[in-house]
Amino acid sequence: MYNDLISIIVPIYNCEKYLLKCVDSIRTQTYTNLEIILIDDGSNDNSPSLCDKILKEDCRIKVIHKDNGGVSDARNTGLKIASGKYIAFVDSDDYLEETYLELLYKSLIFNEADLSICGYIYEDEKGNMIAKTTGDSVILNSHEALNLMFSPKEYQGFLWNKLFKKELIGALQFNKEITICEDLLFVSQYMLNCKKIVYNPIPLYHYVYNTNSALSSRYIKFNYKNLSELKVYDIMLTFLPTTYYDTIKVIKFKKLMSHVGIVHQVYSSNHFDKKLLDKMQQYIRNNIFDIFHINKKVFRVRKYDKLMALLIAINPAFLYCAVKVKKLIKKLIYILKFKHCI
């Protein structure tokens, strides 16, 4: 019976509201040979004292208190001290099903894989499910896995639904200059070192939509830090083999749509930066045909995305008008439904 040590790295920053539930779900895993590494990244709420309290309750827990350096720096700190043969990452505002690690570990060992992936449940803070993964288990090579990762209904480039081999991570670290999609970059680089990847879509990780998280804020309001997502795609295009032609096309499309998203954020947050908007529009105009060069068997482009890109290519103000009209239509539908119920 295999019983290798698994290190779970949990970066923590001002998560006192969720921390105990998160750590309890790790401590009660059916797979028990664990090293639980809590990295307090300079929190200024009650998280540090909670970490110290938890430390006294379970000998498998290690706590590191450090100055705030961002989530990538916190994860790198965890990697430096991790002694497990395998590595998992958990976000401190999420929680796990009790068989999460057991399934990931057994899938990896049984299939002699280099990376094990499970499904997840996307839910709000009240526990209401928004979406979850479905489908059949598959075994993939690195090229296939990279393609599937960009499908919105699959496992995506998250860290927290994956079990990594520490040996294969090697000297790979999180890029501290990247504040958005740093996990996608890390996972993509790791996947290139894999010969076999196993994916079981059973949803065992609970990703909780937290309006204060970096991922949530990315879609709500504009921040210049969001521009680092563009850098992620640029870096990926430098290391992907030229034989991964279809993957490269998808990444170029994702980069294009990131430009579209930034324009949307700028207008939605009333943060008008003409120089930035002109730069985004010029890129979209120059690369608009990337939308039409994607293999539909690998990635399906939504008609809505095509329309948004085309509107910005003509004039970014059209996107602003389209968003306003969409909001107005939703509001009218809500009013009509409400009147019908009276």
**Which pLDDT score, from 0 to 100, does residue 292 have?**
76
Largest CA distance in the chain: 63
Confidence band for 77, pLDDT divided at 50, 70 and 90: very high
Mean pLDDT, rounded, for 172-194:
96
218 has a pLDDT exceeding 60: no
pLDDT in tens, 247-262: 998 899 899 989 988 8
% of the chain beyond a pLDDT of 90: 64
Mean pLDDT, rounded, for 79-88:
98
Separation between Cα atoms, residue 62 and residue 52, nearest integer Å: 9
Q: Which residue has the higher pLDDT, 155 or 13?
A: 13
Alpha helical stretches, state H, the chain: 19-27, 47-55, 71-81, 100-110, 142-149, 166-169, 182-191, 214-220, 228-239, 245-268, 274-287, 303-314, 316-341
340 has a pLDDT exceeding 60: no
Range with top average pLDDT, 76-80, 212-216, 306-310? 76-80
339 has a pLDDT exceeding 80: no
Range with top average pLDDT, 39-53, 134-148, 251-265, 283-297? 39-53
30 has a pLDDT exceeding 90: yes
Give residue 205's Cα distance to chain centre: 13
Mean pLDDT, rounded, for 27-34:
98
What does pLDDT average to over the chain? Answer: 89
- Cα–Cα nearest to 165, from 87, 76, 83, 108: 87
pLDDT in tens, 92-140: 999 999 999 999 999 999 999 999 999 999 999 988 999 999 888 999 9
**Which pLDDT score, from 0 to 100, does residue 105 have?**
98
**Which pLDDT score, from 0 to 100, does residue 289 have?**
84
Separation between Cα atoms, residue 157 and residue 49, nearest integer Å: 32
**Which pLDDT score, from 0 to 100, does residue 37 have?**
98
Separation between Cα atoms, residue 124 and residue 113, nearest integer Å: 33
Separation between Cα atoms, residue 43 and residue 68, nearest integer Å: 7
Q: Which residue has the higher pLDDT, 249 or 77?
A: 77
299 has a pLDDT exceeding 90: no
27 has a pLDDT exceeding 90: yes
Mean pLDDT, rounded, for 145-173:
92
